[in-house]
């Protein structure tokens, strides 16, 4: 299914693929829980999909497609193990260990799959794996991204990502990482990794790292879907609510971020009537859940910032003092140069461009901002507002060289042209 060209699927195949995208995480989780091997689970899941592509167009989609896929995949796994006795013996040892951690739960009374995705979330995010391997494996297994899509999300070659995913699976197998939800004492260490992976998917969808399009709506919506799953599976975790709220509040602006010809439209210029108010309301409710009942977490604070933007009638009436205060909290919880950059922009809106520019210049030595095009773009904007057009033009050129998508580059070229024209006009009038 990964190799199919875009737009080439028949309607029946598209139905199957959409169904698989919805059921894939549950199917994989149930198969891993039953057989104890991620490679086997992925192989037989793919074979079950191929069988569905063969049978469903003629026979119709079954009433319970997930259960049909699970039954088919399980039969194929049993056939595989009958043919490979050594493989079966190894998996039997893994299965005994898995059973000690907890018996395999039965399917629901109506034949539906048990929802074991939470175990798969935490297996993929186990601290025995490196941070980059945790992210790659979660994107591949739970988000259903292809290996090239995962590679793009991490900005590495496809071959590198394929090796990384194989390495992560091998580590799980050889270290015999248990397929289970961590205990209460482990949860604070493990949950942030799961949340970060989901947010990385959303970030790539909201602002694509490269390519012809500014947004990858499919990835953003997949991240929101995963966020809903995690929120449903962990209703007491306030940061799960905060992450989902943040994604909804930002994703609500998706239609207004793109102009009629596909160009980037910044927040200042967006038609707020095109924002998804239902999504904003849901996100706002989740902010309350994230900030109630204890100290705030980083995702809850970011969601609160997004809510203030979404609730304002325009940029001028936005509560910039409150946004700066929330960035102060966020810097204490999760200090990073990117948070400091965003805070500097908010300070510029509260106190004027000169104050914001001073803060940005103070970040000039941060290595993480050297290849981050929003940094020179933000400096260029503030320099333009101060009438320092030659310096603004230089900063726009720097940002243009770093921007990854064509809509971003087109926007920066327009801003560069305007800065250069203003600089020329100023020189002529001097």
- 219: in domain: no
Q: With contact defined as beta carbons under 8 Å apart, do 345 and 337 qualify? A: no
Instruction: Tell whether the model's pLDDT for residue 240 goes beyond 90.
Output: yes
Q: What is the predicted pLDDT for the residue at 303?
A: 98
Q: Domains in the chain: how many in total?
A: 4
Residue whose entry in the numeric block shows the structure tokens 């940029």: 315
CATH of the domain at 376: 1.25.40.10
Q: With contact defined as beta carbons under 8 Å apart, do 300 and 242 qualify? A: yes
Both 322 and 350 in one domain: the answer is: no
**Residue 53: how many CB atoms within 10 A of its CB?**
17
**Among residues 285, 301, 335, which one ends one of the domains?**
335
Residue 162: its H or E element = helix 158-174
* pLDDT tens digits, 241-296: 999 999 999 999 999 998 887 788 999 999 999 999 999 999 999 999 999 999 99
- 392: in domain: yes
- 253: in domain: yes
Both 251 and 301 in one domain: the answer is: yes
SS3 label, residue 99: helix
Both 342 and 321 in one domain: the answer is: no
Which two structure tokens, joined as six digits, stand for 84?
């490979």
**Among residues 74, 104, 134, which one ends one of the domains?**
104
- 160: in domain: yes
**Among residues 53, 81, 104, which one ends one of the domains?**
104
Both 330 and 244 in one domain: the answer is: yes
Question: How would DSSP label each residue in 386-424?
Answer: TT-HHHHHHHHHHHHHH--BHHHHHHHHHHHHHHHHHHH
Both 254 and 198 in one domain: the answer is: no
CATH of the domain at 162: 1.10.10
**Residue 92: how many CB atoms within 10 A of its CB?**
12
* pLDDT tens digits, 54-110: 998 889 888 888 888 889 998 898 888 888 776 666 556 545 444 544 444 444 433
- 109: in domain: no
Domain extent, residue 32, equals: 1-104
- 391: in domain: yes
* pLDDT tens digits, 199-236: 988 988 888 777 777 787 887 888 898 899 899 989 99
Q: What is the predicted pLDDT for the residue at 105?
A: 45
Both 94 and 132 in one domain: the answer is: no
- 412: in domain: yes
Closest by CA to 408, choosing from 196, 269, 215, is 215
Collect all residues with Cβ–Cβ distance below 8 Å to 51 and sequence separation of at least 6: 72
- 44: in domain: yes
Distance in angstroms (rounded) separating the CA atoms of residues 146 and 159: 13
């Amino acid at each position: 299914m990964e190799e199919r060209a875009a737009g080439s699927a028949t309607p029946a195949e598209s139905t199957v693929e959409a169904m698989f995208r919805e059921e894939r995480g549950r199917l994989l989780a149930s198969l891993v829980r039953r057989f104890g091997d991620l490679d086997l689970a992925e192989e037989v899941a793919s074979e079950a999909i191929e069988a569905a592509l063969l049978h469903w167009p003629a026979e119709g989609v079954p009433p319970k497609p997930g259960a049909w896929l699970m039954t088919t995949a399980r039969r194929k796994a049993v056939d595989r193990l009958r043919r490979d006795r050594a493989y079966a013996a190894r998996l039997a040892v893994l299965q005994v260990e898995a059973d000690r951690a907890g018996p395999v739960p039965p399917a629901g009374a109506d034949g539906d799959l048990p929802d074991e995705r939470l175990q798969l979330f935490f297996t993929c995010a186990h601290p025995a794996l490196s941070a980059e391997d945790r992210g790659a494996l979660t994107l591949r297994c739970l988000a259903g991204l292809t290996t090239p899509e995962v590679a793009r999300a991490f900005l590495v070659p496809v071959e590198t990502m394929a090796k990384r995913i194989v390495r992560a699976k091998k580590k799980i197998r050889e270290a015999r990482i248990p397929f289970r939800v961590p205990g209460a004492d482990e949860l604070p260490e493990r949950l942030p990794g799961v949340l970060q992976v989901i947010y990385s998917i959303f970030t790539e969808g909201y602002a694509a790292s490269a390519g012809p399009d500014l947004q990858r709506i499919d990835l953003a919506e997949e991240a929101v879907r995963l966020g809903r799953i995690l929120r449903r599976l962990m209703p007491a975790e306030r940061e799960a609510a905060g992450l989902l709220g943040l994604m909804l509040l930002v994703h609500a602006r998706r239609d207004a971020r793109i102009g009629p010809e596909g160009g980037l439209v910044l927040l200042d210029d967006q038609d707020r009537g095109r924002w998804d108010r239902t999504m904003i309301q849901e996100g706002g409710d989740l902010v309350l859940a994230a900030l109630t009942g204890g100290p705030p977490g980083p995702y809850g604070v970011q969601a609160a910032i997004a809510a203030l933007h979404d609730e304002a009638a325009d940029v001028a009436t936005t509560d910039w003092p409150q946004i700066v205060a929330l960035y102060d909290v966020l810097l204490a919880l999760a200090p990073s140069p990117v948070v400091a950059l965003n805070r500097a922009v908010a300070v510029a809106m509260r106190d004027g461009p000169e104050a914001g520019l001073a803060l940005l210049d103070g970040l000039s030595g941060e290595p993480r901002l050297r290849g981050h095009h929003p940094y020179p773009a933000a400096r260029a904007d503030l320099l333009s507002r101060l009438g320092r057009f030659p310096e603004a033009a230089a900063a726009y050129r720097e940002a243009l060289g770093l921007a990854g998508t064509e809509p971003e580059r087109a926007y920066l070229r327009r801003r560069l042209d305007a800065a250069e024209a203003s600089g020329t006009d100023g020189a002529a009038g001097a």
